C-alpha cells in the first residue's frame, strides 16, 4: 500500500517561524489602503489608467498612475504605477514609482523589498545594497537583527551571485555576530551552497545549539548534502535532549518516513500522540503507517478516531474503505468510498466504486459510473477507460473491452496505455496478429517500453516458435528492468519452451523470490512436472491453488497435467 505522510521538509517548513513564501513577483500584492482622496480631474485620470489596465495598455496606465501619485503624494497610487510599469516591461518607470513610494513613506518594507529586487535585476548592486542596509537597520532591534529578513528577501532573487555578494557585504562588518552567521547560512542553503551553509552554521551551533530553528536548519543541510544517516542521528540526539519538543519530534518522525524506517516512525508518532492526543495530523499519520506495516486493526482504530472527532480530511473515509477492501467487506468499502467528496484520493475512490460495483455483479452501473467520471473529469478519461476495459476483461467480456479501448483511442490516438491494454485483450482472444500490431505501434513510439517488450517476447515464446525474436525482446526488457519478476518469468518460460529446464527453473524461482505470483507459480509447477519432479510440482500447484483457487492460468495448468 502506498503511504502519504507529511515529510521532513514539510515539517521543517511548518516548524519554522516567520518564513516567507518565495515569489518571483517584484511587488507583493496588497489591497489598496483606500487612503487616496481624488478630485474630479484626478478621478478622470484614474479612470483612464484603470481602463488602460483592463485593455492591457500597461504603459499608459503606469504613466497616469505615476502622475496621480506625484500630485497626491499617495503610496497606493505609486504602487499601482510600479505594478503597471513592470507589466509593461518598463523598469525605469517602475523604479521612479517605487522611489516616489519611498519618498512618501521611507521605511515601507514592501516598497523597500520591491525596489531592492528591481535594483538587483537591473544590476544596480550599490543601490540595492543601500536599500538592504536600510531594511536591516530598521529591524535591528528585532529577533535576528534584520539579517534573516534580508536573507529571505535575497533568497527570492534570480541573480544569485549578486544576491550572495550583497549578503557578504552586509555581514562583512558583523563577522562575530551569530545572527549574521545564521542568516548567511540560511541564504547559502537556499542557493544550494551546502558546504558553505554548513560551515557558516557551526558558530551558531556552538552558541545556540538547542534552538529549534538552528537544529532544523542543520538537519536540512545534512539532508541536502546527502548525509541522511548523519541527519537522522543528529536530530535523534536533539529529540532525546528535548523530549517534549513537539516540532522537533515531528520533524524526526517525518525524516524516518522519508528514509523508509516506518516502524521507528510509527513509534515517534505514538509519542507525539502522547504530547498532543487530539492532533489530527498525528493520528492520520499513525493510521497511514499502521496500514503500511499491515497493522490493519491499529490503522482502523486511528481512522475511526478521526471520524468520531468529525475530521473533514477526505483521506479518513478513503483509508477506511481500503481497510474494508482488505477485509473483503465490499458494502462497507462502497459506503466509505462514497464519503470521499474531494482531495487527492477522490478520483481513485470513484474508480474503486466502479470496480467494486462490478465485482458485485452490476457491470452496467459500474460502466455508467466510469462514463460520468470520464465526462466530469477529462483528465481521468484514459484511466476511466482502462478501468472499464479491465473490469470487462475480468468478466471475460473481451470484445466489449476492446471496443472501450478502441473508442478511447479515437480521442487519445497513440496512447501507449490504451494500446497496451487492447493488445492484451487481443491476446486473450487469440487474435495474435492484432496483438502484435498494437505492441509494435508502442515500440515504434518507445523502443524501451519494457511492458511492450516483455509482452511481445512472452507471447512469441508461448504461442509461436519464433524463439529468436522472443529472446531478443525479453533480453532487451531484462537489460532495462532486470529485477522485474514478470520479465524474469517470461525469460524462464522461454528457456522452458527451448527445453532448457534447469535455466528455466533458475529464472522462475528468482522471479518468485522477488514477488509471489499465482501465474508464475503455475509456470514453476509445470516446469517441475515436465522435468520429472512430480511431487515438488504437486506441492507448488496445491499451494498456489489454495491461495488463488479461481486463477484461470493456474487451473488450465492443473487440468492440462491431469491433477
Rounded average pLDDT over 469-492: 96
- The rounded distance, in Å, linking the Cα atoms of 71 and 73 is 6
Helix axes 381-394, 363-376, angle to 10 degrees: 170
pLDDT tens per residue, range 195-253: 999 999 999 999 999 999 999 999 999 999 999 999 999 999 999 999 999 999 999 99
Helical spans, DSSP H, in 159-292: 160-171, 178-190, 194-208, 212-224, 228-241, 246-258, 262-275, 280-292
Q: What is the pTM of this model?
A: 0.76
On whether residue 159 sits in a domain, the answer given is: no
- The rounded distance, in Å, linking the Cα atoms of 353 and 365 is 10
The pLDDT score that the predictor gives to residue 389 is 97
Instruction: Judge whether residue 22 has pLDDT over 60.
Output: no
The pLDDT confidence band at residue 268, using thresholds 50, 70 and 90, is: very high
Q: H/E element holding 538?
A: helix 534-547
The pLDDT score that the predictor gives to residue 37 is 56
The pLDDT confidence band at residue 292, using thresholds 50, 70 and 90, is: very high
Share of the chain above pLDDT 90, in %: 71
On whether residue 220 sits in a domain, the answer given is: no
pLDDT tens per residue, range 61-105: 888 888 888 888 888 898 898 889 888 888 888 888 888 988 898
* Number of alpha carbons in the 13 Å side-chain half-sphere of residue 402: 15
What grid cell was written down for 531? 522435468
On whether residue 311 sits in a domain, the answer given is: yes
Rounded average pLDDT over 484-495: 97
pLDDT tens per residue, range 117-170: 888 888 888 988 988 888 898 888 878 889 998 999 899 888 899 999 999 999
Rounded average pLDDT over 328-334: 97
Domain residues for the domain of 275 are 269-344
On whether residue 200 sits in a domain, the answer given is: no
The pLDDT confidence band at residue 498, using thresholds 50, 70 and 90, is: very high
On whether residue 317 sits in a domain, the answer given is: yes
Domain at 289, CATH number: 1.25.40.10
The pLDDT confidence band at residue 26, using thresholds 50, 70 and 90, is: low
In total, how many domains does the chain have? 1
Share of the chain above pLDDT 70, in %: 93
The pLDDT score that the predictor gives to residue 38 is 58
Angle at 469 between CA 424 and CA 503, to 5 degrees: 95
Rounded average pLDDT over 36-50: 75
Residues whose CB falls within 8 Å of the CB of residue 105, separated by 6 or more in sequence, listed in order: 75, 111
Angle at 344 between CA 343 and CA 346, to 5 degrees: 70
On whether residue 449 sits in a domain, the answer given is: no
Instruction: Judge whether residue 21 has pLDDT over 70.
Output: no
On whether residue 286 sits in a domain, the answer given is: yes
- The rounded distance, in Å, linking the Cα atoms of 354 and 334 is 9
Rounded average pLDDT over 254-267: 96
The pLDDT confidence band at residue 43, using thresholds 50, 70 and 90, is: confident
Instruction: Judge whether residue 308 has pLDDT over 90.
Output: yes
The pLDDT score that the predictor gives to residue 40 is 72
Residue of 42 and 229 predicted with greater confidence: 229
Helix axes 381-394, 398-411, angle to 10 degrees: 170
- The rounded distance, in Å, linking the Cα atoms of 241 and 248 is 10
Residue of 210 and 113 predicted with greater confidence: 210
pLDDT tens per residue, range 396-422: 999 999 999 999 999 999 999 999 999
Average pLDDT, the chain: 90
Helix axes 280-292, 246-258, angle to 10 degrees: 30
27-36, 281-290, 553-562 — most confident range: 281-290
Phi-psi region of 473 (alpha: psi -120 to 50; beta: other; left: phi over 0): alpha
pLDDT tens per residue, range 172-200: 989 899 999 999 999 999 999 999 999 99
Rounded average pLDDT over 533-549: 93
The pLDDT score that the predictor gives to residue 233 is 97
Amino acid at each position: 500500500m502506498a503511504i502519504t505522510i507529511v515529510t521532513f521538509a514539510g515539517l521543517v517548513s511548518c516548524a519554522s517561524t516567520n518564513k516567507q513564501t518565495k515569489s518571483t513577483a517584484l511587488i507583493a500584492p496588497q489591497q489598496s489602503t483606500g487612503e487616496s482622496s481624488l478630485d474630479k480631474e484626478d478621478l478622470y485620470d484614474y479612470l483612464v489608467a484603470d481602463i488602460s489596465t483592463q485593455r492591457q495598455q500597461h504603459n499608459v496606465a503606469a504613466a497616469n498612475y505615476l502622475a496621480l501619485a506625484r500630485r497626491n503624494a499617495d503610496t497606493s497610487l505609486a504602487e499601482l504605477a510600479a505594478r503597471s510599469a513592470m507589466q509593461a516591461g518598463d523598469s525605469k518607470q517602475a523604479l521612479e514609482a517605487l522611489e516616489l513610494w519611498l519618498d512618501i513613506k521611507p521605511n515601507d518594507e514592501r516598497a523597500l523589498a520591491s525596489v531592492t529586487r528591481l535594483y538587483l535585476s537591473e544590476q544596480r548592486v550599490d543601490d540595492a545594497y543601500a536599500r538592504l542596509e536600510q531594511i536591516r537597520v530598521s529591524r535591528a532591534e528585532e529577533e535576528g537583527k534584520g539579517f534573516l529578513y534580508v536573507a529571505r528577501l535575497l533568497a527570492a532573487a534570480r541573480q544569485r551571485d549578486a544576491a550572495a555578494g550583497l549578503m557578504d557585504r552586509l555581514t562583512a562588518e558583523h563577522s562575530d555576530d551569530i545572527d549574521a552567521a545564521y542568516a548567511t547560512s540560511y541564504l547559502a542553503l537556499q542557493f544550494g551552497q551546502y558546504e558553505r551553509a554548513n560551515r557558516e552554521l557551526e558558530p551558531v551551533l556552538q552558541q545556540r545549539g538547542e534552538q529549534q530553528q538552528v537544529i532544523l536548519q542543520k538537519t536540512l543541510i545534512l539532508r541536502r548534502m546527502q548525509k541522511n544517516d548523519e541527519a537522522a542521528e543528529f536530530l535523534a540526539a536533539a529529540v532525546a535532549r528535548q523530549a517534549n519538543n513537539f516540532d522537533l519530534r515531528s520533524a524526526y518522525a517525518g525524516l524516518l518516513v522519508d528514509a523508509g524506517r516506518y516502524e521507528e516512525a510509527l513509534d515517534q508518532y505514538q509519542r507525539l500522540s502522547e504530547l498532543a492526543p487530539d492532533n489530527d495530523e498525528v493520528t492520520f499519520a499513525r493510521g497511514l503507517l499502521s496500514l503500511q506495516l499491515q497493522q490493519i486493526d491499529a490503522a482502523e482504530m486511528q481512522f475511526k478516531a478521526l471520524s468520531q472527532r468529525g475530521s473533514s480530511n477526505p483521506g479518513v473515509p478513503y483509508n477506511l474503505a481500503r481497510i474494508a477492501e482488505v477485509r473483503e467487506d465490499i458494502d462497507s468499502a462502497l459506503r466509505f468510498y462514497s464519503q470521499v467528496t474531494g482531495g487527492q484520493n477522490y478520483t481513485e475512490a470513484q474508480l474503486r466504486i466502479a470496480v467494486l460495483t462490478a465485482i458485485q455483479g452490476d457491470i452496467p452501473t459500474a460502466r455508467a459510473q466510469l462514463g460520468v467520471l470520464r465526462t466530469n473529469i477529462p483528465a481521468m478519461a484514459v484511466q476511466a477507460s482502462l478501468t472499464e476495459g479491465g473490469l470487462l476483461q475480468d468478466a471475460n467480456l473481451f470484445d466489449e473491452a476492446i471496443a472501450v479501448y478502441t473508442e478511447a483511442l479515437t480521442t487519445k490516438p497513440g496512447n501507449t496505455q490504451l494500446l497496451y491494454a487492447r493488445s492484451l485483450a487481443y491476446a486473450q482472444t487469440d487474435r495474435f496478429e492484432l496483438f502484435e500490431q498494437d505492441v509494435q505501434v508502442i515500440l515504434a513510439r518507445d523502443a524501451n517500453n519494457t511492458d511492450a517488450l516483455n509482452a511481445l517476447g512472452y507471447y512469441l515464446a508461448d504461442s509461436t516458435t519464433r524463439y529468436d525474436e522472443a529472446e531478443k525482446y525479453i533480453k532487451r526488457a531484462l537489460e532495462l528492468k532486470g529485477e522485474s519478476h514478470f520479465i524474469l518469468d517470461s525469460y524462464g518460460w522461454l528457456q522452458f519452451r527451448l527445453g532448457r529446464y534447469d535455466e528455466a527453473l533458475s529464472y522462475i524461482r528468482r522471479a518468485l523470490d522477488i514477488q509471489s505470483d499465482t501465474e508464475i507459480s503455475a509456470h514453476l509447477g509445470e516446469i517441475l512436472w515436465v522435468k520429472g519432479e512430480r511431487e515438488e510440482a504437486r506441492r507448488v500447484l496445491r499451494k498456489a491453488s489454495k491461495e488463488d483457487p479461481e486463477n484461470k492460468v493456474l487451473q488450465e495448468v492443473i487440468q492440462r497435467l491431469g491433477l
